Structures are given as structure tokens and as C-alpha cells.
A and B are shown apart, each in its own frame.
Chain A
């Protein structure tokens, strides 16, 4: 019986080796390892053996079975691999053909810039406030220390609707509204982005509609050095740490002292070039300490409270960042322009 088993093993292994397809291999399995196969038969005949030989033969039979099974397994995986190789050869595609187009949109460049600035100030604890685009004369001018007849509020620059109603010329009225809403008591820490309007003819550098972002912080003991710190933080994040900032005196009716902030020119690194008109600096925003009249008009005690405000133009920032030469691009909405900045 032992010989028979060894014979069967030889036979089976040979057939495994000769099998060329998975089907053939399957039949080898059925033939030798199946319930009606020769090994099962050998085991069935074990009853005729002496008692002490039974375990030996039994063990041998199991070993033979296992070896055949292993050989089949091994051969099978080899055949499968070969079959897969064959299949892969037939599945070859031209990877240079274009992908199936999907419709993708994206944000307007100004929105990207505004949201970037919003997120940056949110990170510094600022809220975002909004206000009406059609404003009253009071909030647009008077509450900001621009009484009637002030030279800075020439009819030329403002779209009036009635004597008391106008298209807001800046986002500053939102400051006044926010402060008023707090009744002169709580601190204010906000920025307000939005559309503003000026009575201008549209050309490469003027647009009768544009956007602005204004910021305001009012609290006890706010210092001018805080304004400097916050603006530096902003400039580093928005324009890069390597850019320097400088403040120089300026004038706005609603701040005193007033400053303008320049950043060092990216193109020449401060050496002076045509972009910065030879000065090495580029004007980015206006700012200042909130004028006591503005605080008082909003109900704040200007002895106790102080604050700073700043304002900037997203169009200007976008134009500087991307070298855009004409402000009208933002409002023409040429699809080729819009798509350039979908990942800006």
C-alpha cells in the first residue's frame, strides 16, 4: 500500500506538472483528491491492514494528499498569474487620450482675495460684519467726522439718490453702525468687506463699483503700536514674511493720527523700479487711530476707549499680486479671465 501511495503521488505530480490550463488542473484535483479518487480508495482499504500499520499508512496517505494539494495550489496560482498577464496585455489603453470632461466652476478672484483676508483676520479674533450698500448720508459721512460741506465729500465723488441717501462710498459706515449697535459699551473687533461706489468714469484704474475691506478695533487702551502689530501680522501672512512694512503719516477725516502703510516692493526688493515708481515701496492700505469725534458720535467715551481702523482695496491687492493691468477685468467677467484665477 505504501508503494501504491508513492506511485499515486508520482503520477499526480506529473499530471499537475503537465496541466496547462486551470481546467486541466481542476480535473487532476478531482481525479486524485476527490471523494472517489485513488487515495480515498487506498484509505478505505486500510481495514485489511494489521492494526499497527494503519496509523503509518494513514499518515502517509495524508502526507501524499497534502503534497499533491500543495502542488496543485502552486500550479494554480502560477496558471492564474499567467492568465492575468495575458489579460492585462489585452487591456492596454491609450493613456494619452483626454479624460472625460467635468464642468468645474470656481470663485471670482476678488472673492478669493476677500475670503483670504477674512480668514486671516478671523484667525486674529475679528468678526465679519456687513451693511447696506445704499447708505444714509449720516452713516456714510457725518458719523465719520465728515460733516456737510467738508471738502472730502464732494458731490463729484458720490452717487447720491436723494440728499440723504447715497451709494456708500466706502465700507466705513459699517464701522459706525457696528459701534452704534454696541451702545458705546462693549469692545468692537471686526472687519467689513463689501461693494462700494464712486462717481468715476470707468477706465484702467477707476471703476464706479469696487470692493473694500475695512477693519475696526475699539477697546480700552488700544495703542497705535497695536495697529502696527496687527498690520505687520497681516502683511506677513498676505504678502510673505520677507516683505517689510512702513507707516507714514496721512490724512483721513475719521482717524487721527492717520497713516498709510507701504510694503517693500516685491519686484525690486526695495531697490526702486517702475512698479514702485522708483521708491522701493508700494502703498497697500490706509489706517489710523479712530478719531475721538467718531467714537463720541457712536456713544463711546473717547477718554476711556480708543481704537484703530484700517481700510484696503481687494482690487489693488489682486492687481499687485497678479500683475493685472486693468481694473475693468474684474467686472467684465471674461470667462478666460475668471478661469485663470479659479485656483488662486
Chain B
């Protein structure tokens, strides 16, 4: 919403404030000023001149020599504009004038002829190219004929205006008009404003004997008034009116259209003028459209209507889409003489639906959608009639033809000063409240600090005590509310156990070398259903799809974090970032049934991906590529951090390397997986060899048990023994380890693989795994004999179970 200060100034006294101060006050009382456009460099010394004669320059084809009367003197000026003619009133920069850009006008000679000044285009006067009316785009500006010679052109053209750009919140539709802003400004500055009733001369004949109005649905259209306007002369609007429209960002058309637009800006009430002849009826019927009914709107588009679109008809066919746009057929044109002027109230939701369906957001529809002052509808029509009479010579029939079902019930709100102070934390006196209400021009009755406030109809946003609370507070000033801290029952803030754990997991993963990422939950269908963790695989019913996605790339809710995480790997790899280690803690969405009617189950997961060198930039040591065991090391340590122990079972996950993928199992439950991304997937997404893990955090956080009791640090020394076992190459280290642990209990404290060998010293199909075993007795020093016994038992067990022999 744009507010011309030159216009506002005529409604309410804003003297004594700079534009910046005014903006600050208006912003702080409730209407945010989002931008200020002030004239930066005003042209000086530019007056209205009358071109007495205009002749071809003797020595230049494209120049004209004009004799221009500026009121004080007659100047010879050479002009190159194609549209210059004798008899025109034009803007003349006299010698000594300064135009924007510090362009000084001097007496000069052009091709041997004197030129004492310049006839200006609007652009030369500093008007933005896009604001220049079409007729003057390629030449000089021409004032209306009745303009006084010698007048200040800058004032006439309203170039000295400042315009405020307001960002109006949806509740304050009352300020979407100059009248509304005048009330608001008056309240903010504690000055006066009253809207005067328009007046014009009415003809003897009555409007409602000429035309009849019929409303079919009074919910959708509570009020429809039609003024009958006759004998108008369609022509250009006066300059001041055009200036005001332009300042508000509306392009002038002709006096009739301009006047309805002007009243829209002034009163906030949209109006529509039909050409009476082309409307071609004495009845106006408002009704819902029929299915498939067609209306050509003013913009020349054919609109196919549905039964929830409200239309204005002549009893037979639609002539306007109510509140949104008029019809082409009955548009006001140069030859229009009689009008039907509509001033109506349409239901906001009805207008909204029509505007949405036809993608037609207009100045008019916006105001209907946000609400109108019920007491200003007909008055706005009267204001238009007043202007039509004055500037289009119209005859106006008496009264209106109307049907009226508007609810004009007044809102009265009770407001106790004490309650006001309790809610705001202020110490307002009764007199303070009175002052606020006076500034707002709200009537009230008051007894012992209890106010019954009568809310004026223009403030249809106010309906409950809290609304008045805000109203009072903002005028009283938010700055005058003190700073306090809540006094209520104290509560110890803090993280829940789960939140604390989540933070621990993040800190751990970061310490382990992974950078946190946040990727999109919405992805394409294919990615959404890839790499689903086995424990979710059976319960899911496909990725949940958005009803109206913006793009297919973000159309489905992910079932795994990994595809999007791997996308960031592709992105970075493509940008020469080779060594990547990422993790994300985020949710995946598991639908509970095929129809996706219920809220999906949201499962928190911790997923990571590593590729490239894990140990980089060596000058002392070997560099090391990321591999399965780098990621496994991280997962194992994470288990330790949570006080859990994981086991790893070879498994199959779609999108993963079949030979290098393990399911991660905890307490007998699969809680995720880890391994290498399938080479086919890697190739498709331009990934290097990439290793990932994906764990179900919800399950892990459930399994986590806090270590409560202190475990004594063992006092007695441990004994370590190394064994290298030769086994078949398919035998896994994990199986052997399990046998060692179960057989060696309780003395075995730790088993660690420290070497795996396969090659020339062994038979084909064999491998050797070397373990370091640690024996310890927490109660006393171990005896050699005990260790020998346990060790022997272990060797027997692995030989029996895994066909393992000691490597010599």
C-alpha cells in the first residue's frame, strides 16, 4: 500500500514531523513503513509555458523552434520532441533552472538559432520511466489546456511528493485507504480527522424507479447498491487526480474509471461502473454462476465459471465476476454516456475463492477479501457521484437502487483499567485510557475505571477484550510497557535424557571426524524409497507423497537419510572436494498404511557417509582411503559411548554392496546397517567408493542404559597371549571371537584381532587371523596355570568348532 504524503497532508495535519519521524511513529504504533520514496533532487525553475508558435528549425530536420510564453517573458526554445505543437501547455526549464543530475539550463545556440531554455519530458524532470503515461513516453509532457501559464510545474506534477510504502498486516484492512490512514495517523500523532459526507445535486427521478436490484444469495452478497449516472462526458481526468493515482501506483485511464479507482484508494471501497447501454437491462441480479457459464473479463480473457463464483448479471448473462473484475462487454468506453455504478458488499470468502480460481488478485478483490466498513459502502458510491458530477458533468438520479441485508450491529467491549494493567504490566491511570480512546476516536462510557467501548464500524478487526488491549497498548506506546520477568511458579529448565543423549551422539560423531549436515526431508520418489533400513523395510508402505509438490525433486517424504546425504557427496565431489565425512541426525517418515491417511511414524536416525582419504596429507605416514572398517570403527565406538555392544551380521540392503554390508544388531534386534554403497549406485551418482552407516536412534535411545554403579578399576595385572589361527577363508572373525569369549569366560577380558593374512604361506582357501587375548582376574593375581588351562580350552574349542589350527 502506497501513501502519498501530499494527499495525506490534505486530510490530517502532519506538520512538524519529517518524513522519517512520521514513518517511525506510524511504524511503532502499528503500521509498518517498509520503504520511503522521497524526491531526491527536485527540478528547480521549471514553470508551465504556453507554446505560442512552433516552426521548423531552418537548419535542422529534427528540431522545432518554439516561442514560449512563460508568464513573465516569451522565450525562443529549440525542441527535438516529435509531439511538440503550437498551443500546448508544457513544462519549461528556464535559463538558470536545474534539472535532476545537476543539469543546469543555459542560454545556448543550436545550429545557429538561439535556444533559451528547454521544454521537458517527464523523464527529464526525474519521473521514473515506468511511471510515465504511454502518450508522453517518447516526447515532452503536455499539461491540460486549462493549466495556468507560469505556474510551478513541479507542484502541478506532484514531483515534490513523498510516498510511504506500508506493509499492512492482514488484520488492519481498515488502513487500506487514505481515510483509514488518516484516522490512523491522527491517532498516532494525537491530531484530528473526520471524514466528511460527500454532497452532490440529485436529479428528481429516483434511481430505484429506473433500475431494480435483486440479490439471490444474501450470505454471499449482503448488500448491493446501484447509482444511476447519466450524461457523463468521458475524457481525461484533471491533473491532480491523475497525480494521486500515479502516486499510489495506479495508471490513469479516463475520468470515469479514474474516479472509481480514486474512491477505492480514498475510501477503501471497490466500485464498478457499467456502461448502461451495453449492460442493456433495468434489472441487476447477483447470483452464483452456472456450471460452465462463460464471462469475458476486462483483461480480454474468457473465464469459465463454476457454481461457487458469484456474478453480477443483467438478469440474463454475467457482466462481472463479483468483487474481482468487470466484464468486457459493459466496459466504460469513450462513447459511454450513462452508467450503473455499483457499490456493494460481497462475502470475503466468496471473493477470495473467485480470485484464487482465476488467479486474479486485484486491488478490488484484496479489499473485499480482507473486509470493508459496512457503513462506508454506499457513502463511497456517493463520493464517486460527487466527483462524476464535478469532473464528468454527470446527472445523478436520486438515491440508489439497492437490496440491503448487511449486519450493522455495533460492537461494545468492556475494558477494566485494572485488568488492562494486569495484562500489560503497566500502571495506566483512567485518564491515560481516556486519552487513548479519544485519539482513536472510539466512543465510550466509563464508570470507576470500567470502560464500555463502542467500536466504530471502520475497525471491524476489533471484537474482543484482547483486541482492545492491543489497541490501547499500541497507542499508549509499547515503549511505555516496562521490562519484567515472569513471577509464576519456577521450573528448572533442562534437556531431557533423550535430548542430552542426542547431543552426546552428535558430539561423538563430530569428534570422530564427521561434519554435521542438514538435508531435505522431501526428495524424489526414487530416492525416497532407496536404502531403507531392514528393520523398517517390512512396516513401511511406500513413501508419502505431497498432494501438490512444487517439483518432483521434492515430492516424497524420505524413508532413508542416505540418498540425500549421498547427494551432498556427489555435489562436493563435483567441486573437487574429495575427502568427505558427513553425518546427519534426522527423521524419516514411515507410512502406516497405503493410503497415507494417518500421520506417518517419524523415526529418528543417525546416518553417515565417508569417502576419499581418511588419513590425508601425510609426510610421516601412509595415507589411508576410507573403507568399511573406518566406518565400523565409528559405529563400534558409538555403541561403546551408549554403553551398548553391537554385533554385525552380513546382510542385504537395496542400494548397498552385497558383499560389504552388515546389519547392525543390538540385544538381538536389528537397529540399522552399514557398509559400502553399491558400485552401480556409486557410478550412477558420480560417487567415489563410499561407506555409510544408518542407525535407528529411536531404538538406540530406548536401549541405552545409564551406567549407574562404579566398576572398580582392576588392581591385579593382566596377562596377554597372542594366537594366530588358520581357518577356511569363509570363516568369520566374529564367529571365532564369540567362541573364544564364551569358552574363556570369566577370565577373558578382551579379544582383539591384530592381523589377518592370506597368501603364499598358506594353502589356497585358507586364511590366518591373529588375536590378542587378555586374561585378568579382578580378585587376585592370575596364576600361569589358570591362564594355561583357559588358553588350552580355547584352542580346543576353536579347533572343534571352526576347524582352526595354530599357525606355526
Q: Is B488 an interface residue (CB 8 A)?
A: yes
- Bound Cα distance from A335 to B576, whole angstroms: 11
Q: Which residues of B contact A279 (CB under 8 A)?
A: 27
Cβ-defined contact, B513 with A104, below 8 A: yes
A108 within 8 A of B: yes
Task: Specify the chain A residue showing the minimal Cβ separation from B28.
Answer: A248
With A220-B488, A226-B486 given, is the CB distance from A98 to B619 under 8 Å? yes
Given A101-B616, A200-B550, A249-B478, A128-B495 contact (CB < 8 Å): yes
CB-CB nearest in chain B for A245: B483
A115 at interface, CB cutoff 8 A: yes
Chain A 227-270 interface 0/1 with B at a Cβ cutoff of 8 Å (1 = within) = 01110110000000000001111110000111110000000000
Task: Collect the chain B residues with CB atoms within 8 Å of residue A149's CB.
Answer: 349
Task: List B residues 506-537 near A (Cβ within 8 Å).
Answer: 506, 509-522
Q: Mark B570-582, 1 if CB is under 8 A from A, else 0.
A: 0110010100111
Name the interface residues of B579-628: CB closer than 8 Å to any CB of A.
580-583, 586-587, 589, 596-597, 599-600, 602, 614-621
Size bracket of the A interface: 35 or more
By the criterion CB–CB under 8 Å, are B546 and A225 in contact?
no
Asked if A223 is at the interface (CB within 8 A of a chain B CB), the reply is yes
> Which of B391-399, B468-476, B693-701 binds A?
B468-476
Are B484 and A229 in touch, CB under 8 angstroms?
yes
- Nearest CB in chain A: distance from B440 CB, A: 13
Would you give the shortest CB distance from B607 to chain A, in whole angstroms?
13
B370 touches A151 (CB 8 A): yes
Q: Are A225 and B482 in contact (CB under 8 A)?
A: yes
Contact A333 B470 (CB under 8 A): no
Our pick among A105, A232, A339 for the contact of B513 (Cβ within 8 Å) is A105
What per-residue 1/0 map shows which CB atoms of A310-344 lie under 8 Å from chain B?
A: 00000000000000000000111111101100100
User: Inside 8 A of A103's CB, which chain B residues have their CB?
Assistant: 512-513, 581, 614-615
> Do B466 and A289 touch across chains, with their CB atoms under 8 A apart?
yes
B424 in contact with A151 (CB, 8 Å):
no
Given contacts A111-B506, A338-B516, contact A125 B492 (CB under 8 A): yes
- The answer to whether B489 touches A219, judged by C-beta atoms less than 8 angstroms apart, is yes
Minimum CB–CB distance for A319 against chain B, Å: 15
Instruction: State which of A11-19, A27-35, A68-76, A155-163 sits at the interface with chain B.
Output: A155-163
B621→A100 contact, CB < 8 A: yes
B169 at the interface (CB under 8 A from A): yes
Within 8 A of B (CB), among A103-126: 103-108, 110-111, 115, 118, 121-126
Given the complex, which residues of A lie within 8 Å of B520, measured CB to CB? 208-209, 331
A277 at the interface (CB under 8 A from B): yes
Contact of A161 among B32, B36, B370, B547 (CB under 8 A): B547
Q: Which residues of A contact B617 (CB under 8 A)?
A: 98, 101
Q: Which of B349, B487, B495 contacts A122 (CB 8 A)?
A: B495
Contact, CB under 8 Å: A226 / B425: yes
Note all chain A residues with C-beta closer than 8 A to B484.
223, 225-226, 228-229
What is the CA–CA distance of A334 and B512 in the complex, to the nearest angstrom? 20
Cβ–Cβ < 8 Å partners of B550 in chain A: 199-201, 208
Closest beta carbon of chain B to A231's beta carbon, Å = 9
Given contacts A105-B509, A127-B493, contact A133 B170 (CB under 8 A): no
Flag whether B762 is at the interface (Cβ < 8 A).
no
Q: Which residue of A has the minimal Cβ distance to B509?
A: A105
Most buried by A among B466, B467, B514, B596: B466
* A102 beta carbon closer than 8 Å to chain B: yes
Assuming the A-B contacts A134-B589, A151-B352, A224-B473, are A232 and B29 also in contact, with contact meaning beta carbons closer than 8 angstroms in the complex? no
Q: Tell me, yes or no, whether A184 is within 8 Å of chain B by CB.
A: no
Chain B neighbourhood of A49, CB < 8 A:
none
Is residue B557 contacting chain A, with contact meaning CB distance below 8 A? yes
Partner of A224, one of B424, B619, B620: B424
Q: How far is the CB of A31 from chain B (nearest CB, A)?
A: 42
B746 contacts A by Cβ under 8 Å: no
| Of B465, B491, B503, most A-chain CB atoms within 10 Å | B491
A175 CB-CB contact with B under 8 Å: no
Interface residue B14 (Cβ < 8 Å from any Cβ of A): no
A161 contacts B546, CB within 8 Å? yes
Looking across the interface, which residue of chain B has its beta carbon closest to that of A342?
Answer: B515
Judge whether A170 is part of the interface by a CB distance below 8 angstroms.
no
Contacts of B482 in A (CB 8 A): 225, 228
Q: Is B35 an interface residue (CB 8 A)?
A: yes
| Interface residue? A152 (CB, 8 A) | yes
B602 contact from A124, A132, A201, A232, Cβ within 8 A: A132
Q: Does A143 contact B (CB under 8 A)?
A: no
Knowing A105-B516, A224-B423, the reply to whether A160 touches B547 (Cβ < 8 A) is: yes
Residue of B nearest to A231 (CB): B483
Tell me the complex Cα distance, A125–B619, Å.
51
The interface residues of chain B lying within 8 Å CB-to-CB of A127 are: 491, 493-494, 496
Select one of B481, B600, B615 contacting A228, CB under 8 A: B481
Residue in B469, B515, B620 with the greatest tally of chain A CB atoms within 10 Å:
B515
**Within the complex, which residue of B519, B602, B621 is in contact with A133, where a contact is CB–CB below 8 Å?**
B602
Distance (whole angstroms) from the CB of A74 to the closest CB of chain B:
41
Contact A134 B557 (CB under 8 A): yes
Nearest chain A CB to B347 CB, angstrom units: 11
A208 CA to B554 CA, complexed, in Å: 9
Contact (Cβ within 8 A) B620 A225: no
Is A251 within 8 A of B172, CB to CB?
A: yes
Are A162 and B597 in contact, CB atoms less than 8 angstroms apart? Answer: yes
How far, in whole Å, are A318 and B617 apart by their CA atoms in the complex?
32
Contact status A257-B615, CB under 8 Å: no
Which one of A165, A256, A260 contacts B597 once the chains associate, using CB atoms below 8 Å?
A: A165
Q: Mark B228-264, 1 if CB is under 8 A from A, else 0.
A: 0000000000000000000000000000000000000
**Nearest neighbor of A278 in chain B, beta-carbon distance:** B36
Of the candidates B32, B506, B517, B545, the one having the most CB atoms from chain A within 10 angstroms of its own CB is B517
Chain A residue numbers with a CB within 8 Å of B126 are none
Bound CA span A115–B585, Å: 14
Decide: B170 and A187 in contact? CB cutoff 8 A.
no
B171 within 8 A of A: yes
User: Which of the residues A105, A110, A189, A222 comes within 8 Å of B583, measured between beta carbons?
Assistant: A105
**Contact, CB under 8 Å: B485 / A230:** yes
Q: In the complex the two chains form, what is the Cα distance from A162 to B548 in whole Å?
A: 10
B493–A167 touching, CB < 8 Å: no
Residues of chain B within 8 A of A125, CB atoms compared: 490-493
- A65 in contact (CB, < 8 A): no
Whether a CB of chain A sits under 8 angstroms from the CB of B464 is yes
Cβ contact within 8 Å between B485 and A105:
no
Question: Which listed residue, A249, A278, A342, touches B474 by the CB 8 Å rule?
Answer: A249
Interface hits, B352-410 → A, CB 8 Å: 352, 356, 369-370
Inside 8 A of B486's CB, which chain A residues have their CB? 189, 217, 219, 222, 226, 229-230
Contacting pair A251 B169 (CB below 8 A) = yes
Q: Which residues of A contact B35 (CB under 8 A)?
A: 277
**Cβ–Cβ contact B571 & A333, under 8 A:** yes
Given known contacts A108-B518, A224-B423, A233-B485, A334 and B491 CB-to-CB distance under 8 angstroms: no
Query: In the complex, A187 Cα to B516 Cα: how many Å?
Result: 35
Q: Determine the residue in chain B with the shortest Cβ distance to A222.
A: B486
Q: For the complex, what is the distance from the CA of A21 to the CA of B684, rounded to whole Å?
A: 72
B30 contacts across to A, CB distance below 8 A: 248-250
> A181–B506 Cα gap in the complex (Å)?
29
Shortest CB-to-CB span from B23 to chain A, Å, is: 8
14 contacts between A and B (CB under 8 A): A110-B518, A111-B518, A124-B493, A128-B496, A132-B602, A133-B587, A133-B589, A134-B589, A187-B491, A197-B521, A219-B489, A222-B488, A223-B484, A336-B577
- B→A interface (CB under 8 Å): 27-30, 32, 35-36, 169-172, 348-349, 352, 356, 369-370, 422-426, 464-467, 469-470, 473-474, 478-479, 481-496, 499, 503, 506, 509-522, 544-550, 554, 557, 568, 571-572, 575, 577, 580-583, 586-587, 589, 596-597, 599-600, 602, 614-621
Other A-B contacts than A226-B425, A226-B487, 14 sampled, CB-CB below 8 A, are: A98-B619, A108-B517, A111-B518, A122-B493, A128-B496, A159-B522, A161-B545, A222-B488, A228-B483, A229-B485, A232-B483, A250-B32, A333-B518, A333-B582
